[in-house]
Structure 1
Amino acid sequence: MNCAVSGEVPVEPVVSKKTGLLYEKRLIERHISDYGKCPVTGELHTIADIVAIKTGKIIKPKPLHTASIPGLLGSFQTHDAACRVIARLKKERDEARQLLSEAERQLPAAPEAATANATLSNGKRAADGGEQGPDAKKMRLGISTEVITELTDCNAALSQQRKKRQIPPTLASIDALEKFTQLSSHPLHKTNKPGIFSMDILHSKDVIATGGIDTTAVLFDRASGQILSTLTGHSKKVTSIKFVGDTDLVLTASSDKTVRIWGSSEDGNYACRHTLKDHSAEVRAVTVHATNKYFVSASLDSTWCFYDMSSGLCLAQVTDDSEKVDYTAAAFHPDGLILGTGTAQSIVKIWDVKSQANVAKFGGHTGEITSVSFSENGYFLATAALDGVRLWDLRKLKNFRTFEFPDANSVEFDHSGSYLGIAASDIRVFQTASVKAEWNPVKTLPDLSGTGKATCVKFGPDAKYVAVGSMDRNLRIFAQLRYIKEAREIRLAMQPLELIKRVKEIQQEASTGHETDVKQNTEAVDLSKRRKAFLPTNEESSLKALEEWRKRKMERARQRDLEKTGGVSSSKTS
């Protein structure tokens, strides 16, 4: 029986109580809702006037032309042509995506506004919203042979440099670290959501970056004590922050599942250049490769991503199919071909970056891994967890020392690899040694926040100071008091000269009469050069008198320090 409207066999047949006619259900319902009457007889109808008919499954008969061999051949040819068209379209689509990704990598980083309506998604642009859910599979370009060659060349160059590496003579001595005390405290984040969760230091400019629970990141100039810029954009706490070498780029990771790349603008403020949304859970760590062209993010979604810095493209998103783990920490080996990751399941994993293969796995911790740090010598790995800190020998893949500090939140080698800092309920500094030798404690710094939890620790240039973040929103600087006092005296000496218009910069550094410890102080020497840079050639006569005044003032300050410590002065100045 056929539908009274379409004349075809209905898929869902219904019959009218009033007319007895057969209809296709969707057709008659639409007509009744529009006109309220039967399309054949014109009688008034409602939806209640139609009744569904139960029928057996109807098998649609084959078309007559398929009953012959020529007809079958024609059907096969039509199907084959359709398949070839689909294959060609897919190939053209993939080629277009590849060309687009290569073009994006060659273009300079565009402002975030230019990509406000689309998110970079590893070789293609995925529209924001429902079309690309967090669990949708995304195309990954993979780490190309060109990138692998670049990583390998960087590894070879750094390995050669490491063989010639020596401890810098300006490195702070153990005696100096033993005298470290709090010099300053800087409230950088908001009071309603206090807490510094992450930190990094740009040694070349002595700038400290902090990531807060208040969703902001702050760039702080330690020398001047001023905030340079506040980075706003994340919607949840900033879990990790990193400078990208000596460039003007900063990376931040957040609990809002995103990673942001920030760049300095002409006015000195920082703006977000890329917002990366490749993770589906909280991003816990970012770490920058030694080339400063690539970086890795680690997330609680059981993946880590390898990114191209300039374009913000995710070249590879790696997960371990053998076991499900949530990544809580990550760090590149100094040579750049090894990646260390910590997990919420107490496991430390070592990866080969070129093949993205898990080449080693360390167990033994209890609780979540909170921090990982490689020594500059490339031999040691330090890992922090809720049960303390463990040291691993990467040559033998064994744990050779354990420090039992409950709730260890951060572990960090200084740039020379001479000292190890641990942040827990207080801050401990150890002198590094060999596998068999003792790692002696050098200094214990108290947690002055009152929260009982130091969250992060970093060494300044040449370990001249230690920066500590905690849960009370304050950045604290620990250093030897003598260095800072001497630097302050030099600043006082240069203030009158800053008012004089600069005519010519003095090229030769004359004898300044500094004591040995002042000469070794990078900040003091730098300030001395700045003072002399403001001195015009016609003011040479004032230099000697000013120098004598400064020396007397420094000597008086040194005498006061010696009297407080019970020491005896070795020299007097009239």
Structure 2
Amino acid sequence: MSTIVCAISGNAAEEPVFSPKTGHVYEKRLIVKQIDSTGKCPVTKEELTKDDLVDVKANKAVRPRPASATSIPGMLSLLQSEWDALMSETYELKTQLDTTRKQLSHALYQHDAACRVIARLLRERDASRAQVGQLQEQLANSTPGSGAGRQEGETGLTPQIIQRMEEIAQSLSKTRKQRVFPDLNPVEKVKKFECTGSHPIHQSTAPGILCVDIHKTDGNRIVTGGVDGQVILFDASKEKMAQKLLGHSKKVNAVSFHTGKDIVVSGSQDSTVKIWTCSDAANWMGPYSCAHTIRAHKAEVTDISLHPLGDYLLTSSMDKSWGLHDLTTGRCVRHVKDLGSAYPCMKFHPDGLILAGGTEDKTVAVWDVKEQVTVATLTGHEGAIEALTFSGNGYYLATASRDGTVKLWDLRKPINIQTLKVSAGQVHSIAFDSTGQYLAVGADTVEVYNFATKSSLAETASLKDHSAAVMGVCWSQHAQSLASVSMDRTLKLYK
């Protein structure tokens, strides 16, 4: 009987099948595999299915061994050949693995180098953008009739400005005692404040956030200034950065929101104050641009404060001067120079007719805005004054010093009515809430106090979430939440 040969392998078929469609005989396992993969006959290339195959009855006799496997020496020779082939294949695989490893190592090195180059280019891009912004502002201010000449000339406190200040002061003074705060966060809830969010929003290459402010009517709007020279707008509701304002060349010491307009003001170690305005009136998170750059000071700008009118800006500096500026035009209204000491901090009184400034000489000077004369000097601290804040009712002033203490002053007398030992080191920041009921203090930790009586503060909460010095604190409206910033590069929110 002749042997049935597979049309694919050319060997005798162990389980032959016949296809009437192609006229060929196949080994069943081979043709089924071809049909599953291609659906065609590998010989004739015709379309073929399993239904086209017919089993062929054939002798199931066992095939004889090849001649080389009929003796022990022959079998050993076969095994030796198989072993040699296996070793050759193993060697080739190891060679390929070694080559692949070298290629992968080279690719990883190239990827790492590319990441470093991209990071450097991004830093250079940001620096170039900041320089371009500064040059654009300088060009804008260098047109005839403006620029440096305009910055140097003082417009002066005209009778019209003084009259407006007096009118707003009288209006605020009349309504102060009538104010009630039904939405004020109760002491029991403030005692339970805990950190609800921690956000490292400034650059890690220049770590540290130095100042923070929360919008007076919208607690979700937060602005910070950092060692990296950036001003960051942060949306607390979405927990993400809304805008990054670039323009300062050195660290930003003070930031502030305008109450009624989408305006942000920032003061920097580069001796400038920038007024940023939003181009989208319907969206506070829209793009901001620098409307004015105030260059009245010759040294680091340490603090800023907006007048209750909303039209004038107070700045203090380490050049032993303070200035009053028109927020709309950026022009200097009054610049008080050549004082006895530098001013690390300065704020307007809630009525706007007086201001208080903390000095390097360990004193607090209270100034009359209309006459620009000192009307009171508060002494008692043993270190330079780092920060100060007025209570919402205007009766009290709290001051923080490098001596680690916070002093509470009654401005109606004026005398020191309480001293709080907060830290063994410096106290960097301090802030009353808008009602004047709570006082937040930033030192090594965030400490919260409340008025237990009309003239004394009691400790309410101690928040120890920061890992470095706390540089800024600020309350939202009615003390519903608290924000703090630190040299650990984080903005933390408490509720």
- TM-score higher than 0.5 here? yes
- Which residue is 2:346 aligned to? 330
Residue identity in the other structure for 1:409 = H
The one-letter code sitting in structure 2 at the alignment partner of 1:232 is: L
Task: Find the counterpart in structure 2 of residue 289 from structure 1.
Answer: 307
Structure 1 residues 435, 365: closer, same or farther in 2, change over 3 A?
farther
Asked if the contact 2:397/2:411 (under 8 Å) is kept, the reply is yes
Give the whole-Å Cα distance in 1 for the aligned partners of 2:467 and 2:371: 46
- Residues 1:215 and 2:234 are matched in the alignment: no
Residue type of the partner of 1:199?
V
5 Å matches for 1:485-500? none
How many residue pairs get aligned? The number is: 354
Question: What CA deviation, in whole Å up to 9, does each residue of 1:454-487 have, x standing for no partner?
Answer: 11111122212111111111100111xxxxxxxx
The question of 1:414 aligning with 2:433 is answered yes
C-alpha spacing 1:125/1:191, structure 2 compared with 1 (3 Å): closer
Measured after TM superposition, the shift of residue 119 of structure 1 is: 4.4
Write the distance in 1 (CA, Å) between the matches of 2:459 and 2:379. 25
Aligned CA RMSD, in angstroms, stands at 2.1
Aligned counterparts of 1:126 and 1:204: Cα–Cα separation in 2: 36
In structure 2, what is the equivalent of residue 311 of structure 1?
329
Distance across 2 between alignment mates of 1:220 and 1:189: 11
Q: Which residue of 2 aligns with 1:238?
A: 252
Tell me, what secondary structure is at the counterpart of 1:432?
Answer: strand
Q: Which residue of 2 aligns with 1:117?
A: 139
For 1:318 and 1:241, locate their aligned partners in 2 and report how far apart those are by CA, in whole Å: 22
How far does residue 117 in structure 1 lie from its aligned partner after superposition?
Answer: 2.9
- 1:378 maps to a residue whose letter is G
| CA–CA separation in structure 2 for the residues paired with 1:295 and 1:403 | 31
Query: Quick one: distance in 1 between partners of 2:313 and 2:409?
Result: 24
**Aligned partner (choices 379, 386, 406) of residue 395 of structure 2:** 379
Matched, 1:262 2:279: no
- Cα deviations by residue, 1:532-570 (Å, 9 ceiling, x for unpaired): xxxxxxxxxxxxxxxxxxxxxxxxxxxxxxxxxxxxxxx
**Aligned equivalent of 2:450:** 431
The aligned residue for residue 200 of structure 2 is 187
Partner residue, 2:213 = 200
CA change 1:265–1:373 in 2 (3 A) is same
Unaligned runs of 5+ in 1: 1-110, 133-137, 480-574
What are the equivalent positions in structure 2 for 1:92-103 lying under 5 Å apart? Answer: none
Q: Which amino acid counterpart does residue 357 of structure 1 have in structure 2?
A: V
Deviation per CA, 1:421-459: give whole Å up to 9, x if none. 1111111111125565x421111111x2322x1111111
2:138 is aligned with what amino acid? Answer: A
Q: Which residue of 1 aligns with 2:178?
A: 164
Q: Deviations over 1:67-90 (max 9, x none)?
A: xxxxxxxxxxxxxxxxxxxxxxxx
Per the alignment, residue 302 of structure 1 pairs with 320
Give 1:120 shift: 8.4
Q: Cα deviation per residue 1:270-323 (whole Å; 9 max; x = unaligned)?
A: 1111111110000000000001000110000000000011000001101365xx
Q: Residue type matched to 1:211 in 2?
A: G
Structure 2 counterpart of 1:126, from 148, 153, 161: 148
Q: Which amino acid aligns with 2:328?
A: S
Report Cα offsets for 1:389-447 as digits up to 9, x if no partner.
111110111111001123111111111111111111111111125565x421111111x
* Structure 1 residue identity aligned to 2:233: L
Asked if structure 2 preserves the Cα contact closer than 8 Å seen for 1:112 and 1:275, the reply is no
**Separation (CA, whole Å) in 1 of partners of 2:416 and 2:243:** 41
Contact map agreement 1:112 1:274 (CA 8 A) in 2: no
Distance 2:170 2:487 in 1: 41
Shift of 1:125: 3.9
Counterpart of 1:467 in structure 2 is: 483
Q: Cα distance, 1:115 vs. partner?
A: 5.3
Q: Distance in 1 between matches of 2:300 and 2:255?
A: 14
Name the CA distance, whole Å, in 1 between partners of 2:472 and 2:335. 28
Matched with 1:483 is: none
Q: For residue 175 of structure 1, give the secondary structure of its aligned residue in structure 2.
A: helix
Give me the whole-angstrom Cα distance separating, in 1, the residues matched to 2:333 and 2:490: 37
Q: Give the aligned residue type for 1:149.
A: Q
Shift of 1:182: 1.0
* Cα separation, 2, equivalents of 1:155 and 1:431: 26
Q: Secondary structure at the match of 2:344?
A: strand
1:445 counterpart residue number: 463
Q: 1:399 to 1:379 in 2, by over 3 A?
A: same
Partner of 1:178: 191
Partners of 1:272 and 1:198 lie apart in 2 by 19
Contact 1:342 1:370 in 2 (8 A): yes
**Aligned counterparts of 2:443 and 2:142: Cα–Cα separation in 1:** 38
Select between 377-386 and 196-205 the one with higher mean Cα deviation. Answer: 196-205
Q: Secondary structure at the match of 2:440?
A: strand
Query: Paired residue for 1:277?
Result: 295
Q: How far did 1:141 drift?
A: 2.2
Higher relative contact order (CA 8 A, sep 6+): 2
- How big is the shift at 1:364? 1.3
Separation in 1 of the partners of 2:256 and 2:450?
25
Distance of 2:463 and 2:477 partners within structure 1: 19
Report the Cα distance in structure 1 between the residues aligned to 2:411 and 2:149, rounded to whole angstroms: 43
What SS does structure 2 have at the residue aligned with 1:205?
Answer: coil
Q: How far is 1:233 from its partner?
A: 0.4
Answer yes or no: is the 8 Å Cα contact 2:264–2:275 preserved in 1: yes
Report the alpha carbon displacement of residue 118 of structure 1 after superposing the two structures with TM: 6.2
Structure 1 position 126, deviation (Å) = 2.6
Structure-2 separation of matches of 1:422 and 1:465: 14
The equivalent of 1:347 in structure 2 is 363
SS in 2 for 1:117: helix
CA distance in 1 between counterparts of 2:276 and 2:214 reads 16
Aligned with 1:363 (options 375, 379, 384):
379
Judge conservation of contact 2:153–2:332 (CA < 8 Å) in 1.
Answer: no
In structure 2, distance between residues paired with 1:159 and 1:120: 43
Deviations 1:214-268 (A, max 9, x none): 1001111111112111111000000000011121111000000000000001381
Letter in 1 for 2:235: D
What is the rounded CA distance, in whole Å, between the counterparts of 1:417 and 1:433 in structure 2? 12
Who is 1:155 aligned against?
169
